[in-house]
Structure 1
């Protein structure tokens, strides 16, 4: 069971960033059908169809290289799905870790459906973003199953578990915002840092930027999505990064008093600094593909570190003892009092 979990985790560490690479290299429609490629098992078998599509649109989304990237991602994701099926079977058979294994199976089933819809609905932003979140969820569940049992629980102040939980929630929201930036191709809508196109606070347009039921590049009324909407998407992601940074610094400040947490907090701080650096570098260097993929992997690492931190934290012993005490009997007026 443990070997299966670790094998799945290592494969997920490859699959999730590779999916970002496929998307960012514009290969998401390299095979415009699903699950095969032009009805074939591999791009080699569909070479004639791919060549014909490329001759009609030389600069379009279809080429032999893009088709191989897309199908390689499907092969890897399919292998991961099989490993997760084995994990679910072993968990049920051995009567352990059934809840996370069941959640993992449900997430993978949803993720497979979203992968199909990503292609068949031609990269609709809400589907692409949901597919990204689904892949991250699979990775986080596997990381928790593999790593959490080996981490020593730590009793900290009552505020620290709540703050760590808030940080993890903020990171999930920030991840969704990052997926929305990527799926709408808004990563370069703001030039420069920290200013955006020379402005400290750019013009924002929320009504079109976050309308979910629209096609890629289109506004809700079917016209082209205006540039102000793309700037809004990008700028809100930057504001989210600022909010996450403030929360994370609060967790570091409050948790550093616990000596047992310091190595974990050091890893959290390192992952945060790496992710901030990658985000700024992507803007200043005009989104080079290796850095863009690394930013996706960095987000997964930062969220994983924060979730594992939250799973380690326990309420202080005094609070646990108070929670375990029976409630005092109620007096005649519904107030705590002596029992009569």
Structure 2
């Protein structure tokens, strides 16, 4: 394994840790453990800001600031900063090796832009006091970074493509889009603290179509726990957020399950299908367990890890899967060009 591929792999792993640990920080109510950015009360570590943290905690013992919460928040920032530096290194190496087919300097450079914007979202998450739209966008940015790194890693590995029918190839693309939508819905549930709006399963409040306020549930520009008009967000609105996530899980789950079965029928793609079905089963089990067990912190973080794992697997599938018809058409085009060139030789 060359150095470039090794760095991409370790950056991918570290980004997965950052995404999951970021979810843990949010679920542990530590997102404002240090109420400024990028330091903690202007200091490099919580230890250096111990006096300010203790004063804030004494003034509000049940508030978001405490030494344990400050450390959780700062560790997340340290890890995210390390990812940013590694991505800069990846881009530099990709440009130096731009003749190597296993690199993609343009995508690596674009990834720097994604990470810079992700850093800004991290800052706004703190300075704008956990607005749901900003926190959800921060989650999307983390998953986007993870997905792009997975794509770079697939390219660096230079594994053989899998040629499938046009229908299976289209299903892989559609399932990936549905997974992305479902992750956004999951982020909206988490950032609005709506995970416990429905405590039963598979119904919600004993119904398959519970009373819900969809008009206020999906206003993007608003404060945490408030409607766009500044009133308290109702339980019916939280129910709407939660229930839409369940509906999204059903739609995305069916598409991913169908894709997994389709891949298992192809000799060159059986391992991809098995990996997808195993990750899907795990994610469904974690989702149900979170509802029935009232959202234990570690189990909720594991649910985020399951989403990250599905993103990596689906990127790998979409990178490797190629339509047989498109491949044949490309081959015919190359043969025609070769024939045309030979006619002038």
| TM-score, normalised with respect to structure 2 | 0.91
| Matched length | 326
Deviation of 1:147 (Å)? 3.2
Maintained 8 Å contact 2:35/2:126: yes
2:141 corresponds to 1:134: yes
User: Offset at 1:7?
Assistant: 2.2
Out of 230, 239, 249, the position equivalent to 1:222 is 230
User: Structure 2 CA distance, aligned partners of 1:269 and 1:229?
Assistant: 33
Structure 2 residue ranges without an equivalent (≥5): 335-345
Find the counterpart in structure 1 of residue 27 from structure 2.
24
- In 1, the alpha carbon distance for the partners of 2:106 and 2:268 equals 29
- 1:97 corresponds to 2:97: no
Give 1:162-201 correspondences, 5 Å limit.
162-201=170-209
The alpha-carbon distance between structure 1 residues 90 and 200, as it changes in their structure 2 partners (threshold 3 A), is: same
Aligned to 2:72: 69
**Secondary structure of 1:162's partner?**
helix
Quick one: distance in 1 between partners of 2:126 and 2:73? Answer: 10
Deviation at 1:324, TM superposition (A): 4.6
Give the Cα separation in 2 of the matches to 1:92 and 1:321: 31
Q: Is the 8 A contact 2:279 2:309 kept in 1?
A: yes
Q: Match of 1:51?
A: 54
Change (3 A) 1:7 1:213: same
Q: For 2:211, what is the secondary structure of its paired residue?
A: coil
1:140: Cα distance to partner? 1.5
1:111-260, aligned counterparts within 5 Å?
111-148=118-155, 149-260=157-268
> Which portions of structure 1, spanning 4 or more consecutive aligned residues, are displaced by more than 6 angstroms?
none
Structure 1 unaligned spans of 5+: 327-340
Alignment equivalent of 1:270, drawn from 256, 278, 285: 278
Q: Is the 8 A contact 2:264 2:274 kept in 1?
A: no
TM-score, normalised to structure 1's length?
A: 0.92
Is 1:9 aligned to residue 12 of structure 2?
yes
Secondary structure of 1:182 counterpart? helix
Structure 1 residue 319: deviation in Å?
Answer: 6.4
CA distance in 1, matches of 2:306, 2:198: 21
Give the one of 82, 87, 107 matched to 1:84. Answer: 87
Q: 1:260-297: CA deviations, max 9, x gaps?
A: 11111000000000000000000000000110000000
- Give the secondary structure class of the aligned counterpart of 1:201: coil
